[in-house]
Amino acid sequence: NVNGYTNCCFGFHRLAVVDQLFGMQPIRVKKYPYLWLCYNGEIYNHVKLQHHFEFEYQTKVDGEIILHLYDKGGIEQTVCMLDGVFAFILLDTANKKVFLGRDTYGVRPLFKAMTEDGFLAVCSEAKGLVNLKHSMTPFLKVEPFLPGHYEVLDLKPNGKVASVEMVKFHHCRDEPLHALYDSVEKLFPGFEIETVKSNLRILFDNAIKKRLMTHRRIGCLLSGGLDSSLVAATLLKQLKAAQVQYPLQTFAIGMEDSPDLLAARKVANHIGSEHHEVLFNSEEGIQALDEVIFSLETYDITTVRASVGMYLISKYIRKNTDSVVIFSGEGSDELTQGYIYFHKAPSPEKAEEESERLLKELYLFDVLRADRTTAAHGLELRVPFLDHRFSSYYLSLPPDMRIPKNGIEKHLLRETFEDSDLIPKEILWRPKEAFSDGITSVKNSWFRILQEYVEHQVDDTMMAAAAQKFPFNTPKTKEGYYYRQIFERHYPGRADWLTHYWMPRWINATDPSARTLTHYKSAAKA
């Protein structure tokens, strides 16, 4: 409870990754008795900023930097200086203000409910807010807080608030303000291909290096695709350089004979990680759907499909290993135009627009999947491709450098690591497999198995009445209907958390799986 305010309270459940001893929240320090901070995230430059501004720390918690920065320069400067992922609520009782903030891509979740008479509640997950009762409104509107924004609210003596402004503090294209204070070696100017490749390698190395910040064991998800393989190989190199004593554990999941398992095994052998393979069958996958949708808080088709594998592998990691901080390749497809439909982009400029749209919506799809499936099992995810410096540099490159070339998507990224021997050549040039497709056997894909199952769960009369039952985001397929049903059981009337389904562009797609696209090149056909 907050001193002097009868109805302000904070609740917190902690996963200790940095400073196990003094990391309880709300974070308060003697110097600022009027500041109360509840925060989830990782601020990778907190030590750097502490030294630069000569802040006196009371704890070793990375989040403490928020209090010092706020005291020094106010909220706008604070959020712009944070290199990392975060969601926070900061209460300033001296100036009677409340601040909410969330990182550029929304890697860390934040939900908010606010009534017309000024009752405010925030939580990392919507499930913490949906059952709150409020006398004025029987149905409390709960919505995701927008990534890359902060909000300023006035705090009244009775604990109620009034919103003053909502500000977008960072666009993914812009170099972040904190770049002024980091120790990355100087990048070379110009867009000559060798220069660009060298800059990308420097920034990618740096993105992984800064993410080693933890007192807990680090592991890595490895699907055998380009993105997770580059992350795993670079991570292993960085751990060696940092003289970390334990072997890197890498984790792959799939059904028997799945292309991902074979590819991941190749990479693990090449880099020398301690590799774990998790096998699952369609029954286990189907059984997990209910708890997956409950954890995710969405009914988006691709997200649910791809989450099952990630949920099951996270469960395995939690139960069988002591790896807690988990690296993963999310964000790369959006940033580097990795989806197969980018081959159909009408122009490099349109492809660039699409890439930025995807990044802006990550918090509804891949980032949501990655956060919720890992956090459900007490793991903490790190996504180096969404590093502010790496991503803003990539987006600053001329549009025609970033499009697919010679029929190969992510050509620039592959070319960048061509001479490094980080990963096997055939993996470096392996075409895209969607995670939900790559984990299943070539003969029968996971989503086909799902669809066969759903066929018996949803009949044609239900489909015929779908538009009446679900007027918003009406499901067009039985699979979509089935997920929506589970979602509505857990979160009745909350369908608007998802603004629209994830779908490929520029082609007449009825199903979001890459395997249904004509461009799809799988080993089965080769």
What are 54-79's pLDDT values in tens digits?
A: 999 998 889 999 999 999 999 999 99
Average pLDDT over residues 445-463: 89
Which pLDDT score, from 0 to 100, does residue 521 have?
47
Q: Is 140 annotated as a binding residue?
A: no
Query: 196 and 154, same structural domain?
Result: no
Instruction: Judge contact between 438 and 329, C-beta under 8 A.
Output: no
The per-residue pLDDT for range 301-318, each reduced to its tens digit, is 999 999 999 999 999 999
Query: 219 and 154, same structural domain?
Result: no
Q: C-alpha distances in angstroms, 495 versus 105, 157, 223, 303, 404?
A: 22, 35, 31, 15, 35
87 part of a folded domain: yes
Place 176 in a pLDDT band, splitting at 50, 70 and 90: very high
Query: 189 and 158, same structural domain?
Result: no
Query: 234 and 109, same structural domain?
Result: no
Please say which residue of 110, 133, 168 terminates a domain.
168
pTM, two decimal places: 0.94
Query: 206 and 105, same structural domain?
Result: no
Separation CA 225–CA 434 (nearest Å): 9
Lowest mean pLDDT of 13-17, 59-63, 128-132, name the range.
13-17
Query: 46 and 73, same structural domain?
Result: yes
Tokens 């807690």 belong to 324
Please say which residue of 421, 444, 467 terminates a domain.
444
Cα first-last separation, the chain? 64
b/e code 355-392 from CB counts within 10 Å (16+ = b): bbebbbbbbbbbbbbbbbbbbbbebbbbbbbbbbbbbb
Please name which of 372, 283, 302, 354 lies closest in space to residue 505, comparing C-alpha atoms. Answer: 354
Q: Is the peptide bond before 424 cis (omega within 30 degrees of 0)?
A: no
How many separate helices (H) and strands (E) can be counted in the chain? 19, 13
pLDDT over 80 at 225, yes or no = yes
CA 4 to chain centre: 37
Separation CA 31–CA 255 (nearest Å): 55
Q: What's the token pair of residue 175?
A: 């170099």
Place 393 in a pLDDT band, splitting at 50, 70 and 90: very high
Please name which of 140, 232, 170, 139 lies closest in space to residue 391, comparing C-alpha atoms. Answer: 170
480 part of a folded domain: no
Phi-psi region of 232 (alpha: psi -120 to 50; beta: other; left: phi over 0): alpha
Quick one: DSSP state of residue 514?
A: G
Query: 157 and 229, same structural domain?
Result: no
- Burial group, residue 37, by CB count within 10 angstroms (0-12, 13-18, 19+): buried
Q: What's the token pair of residue 223?
A: 């699907």
Which pLDDT score, from 0 to 100, does residue 433 have?
65
Order across the sheet with 120-123: list the strands: 120-123, 111-114, 142-144
Lowest mean pLDDT of 52-56, 164-168, 305-309, 519-523, name the range.
519-523
Which pLDDT score, from 0 to 100, does residue 415 have?
97
227 part of a folded domain: yes
Q: Is 83 annotated as a binding residue?
A: no
pLDDT over 60 at 82, yes or no = yes
204 part of a folded domain: yes
pLDDT over 60 at 519, yes or no = no
The per-residue pLDDT for range 356-371, each reduced to its tens digit, is 999 999 999 999 999 9
Average pLDDT over residues 154-162: 90
Please say which residue of 139, 168, 197 terminates a domain.
168
- At 100 the three-state DSSP class reads strand
The per-residue pLDDT for range 229-273, each reduced to its tens digit, is 999 999 999 999 999 999 999 999 998 878 889 999 999 999 999
Supply the CATH number for residue 46's domain: 3.60.20.10
Q: Is 198 annotated as a binding residue?
A: no
Which pLDDT score, from 0 to 100, does residue 507 have?
83
Average pLDDT over residues 141-158: 95
Which pLDDT score, from 0 to 100, does residue 437 have?
64
The per-residue pLDDT for range 476-515, each reduced to its tens digit, is 999 999 999 999 999 999 999 999 999 999 987 667 766 5
10 part of a folded domain: no
Phi, psi at 252, each rounded to 5°: -125, 145
Q: Is 35 annotated as a binding residue?
A: no
499 part of a folded domain: no
Query: 188 and 57, same structural domain?
Result: no
What's the helix, strand, coil split of the chain in %, to 5? 40, 15, 45
pLDDT over 80 at 524, yes or no = no
Give 513's contacts (C-beta < 8 A, 6+ positions apart).
302, 305, 434, 436, 437, 445, 447
The per-residue pLDDT for range 113-122, each reduced to its tens digit, is 999 889 999 9
CB atoms within 10 A of CB 339: 22
Please name which of 475, 474, 478 lies closest in space to residue 455, comparing C-alpha atoms. Answer: 478
b/e code 486-497 from CB counts within 10 Å (16+ = b): bbbebbeebbeb
What stretch of H or E contains 101? strand 97-102
Query: 254 and 392, same structural domain?
Result: yes
39 part of a folded domain: yes
Instruction: Judge contact between 383 and 374, C-beta under 8 A.
Output: no
Which pLDDT score, from 0 to 100, does residue 17 have?
55
Query: 373 and 280, same structural domain?
Result: yes
pLDDT over 50 at 195, yes or no = yes
* Structural domains of the chain, count: 2
- At 350 the three-state DSSP class reads helix
Lowest mean pLDDT of 82-86, 98-102, 134-138, 324-328, name the range.
134-138
**Planar angle of CA 431, 436, 439, nearest 5 degrees:** 75
Query: 360 and 223, same structural domain?
Result: yes
Query: 224 and 338, same structural domain?
Result: yes
Tokens 């999310």 belong to 330
Instruction: Judge contact between 307 and 487, C-beta under 8 A.
Output: no
Instruction: Judge contact between 271 and 233, C-beta under 8 A.
Output: yes
Separation CA 57–CA 47 (nearest Å): 10
Supply the CATH number for residue 376's domain: 3.40.50.620
Q: Is 221 annotated as a binding residue?
A: yes
454 part of a folded domain: no
Average pLDDT over residues 389-400: 98
The per-residue pLDDT for range 25-56, each reduced to its tens digit, is 888 899 999 999 999 999 999 999 999 999 99
Which pLDDT score, from 0 to 100, does residue 525 have?
36
Place 10 in a pLDDT band, splitting at 50, 70 and 90: confident
Which pLDDT score, from 0 to 100, does residue 459 have?
95
Domain span at residue 221 reads 184-444
- Burial group, residue 520, by CB count within 10 angstroms (0-12, 13-18, 19+): middle
Separation CA 337–CA 227 (nearest Å): 12
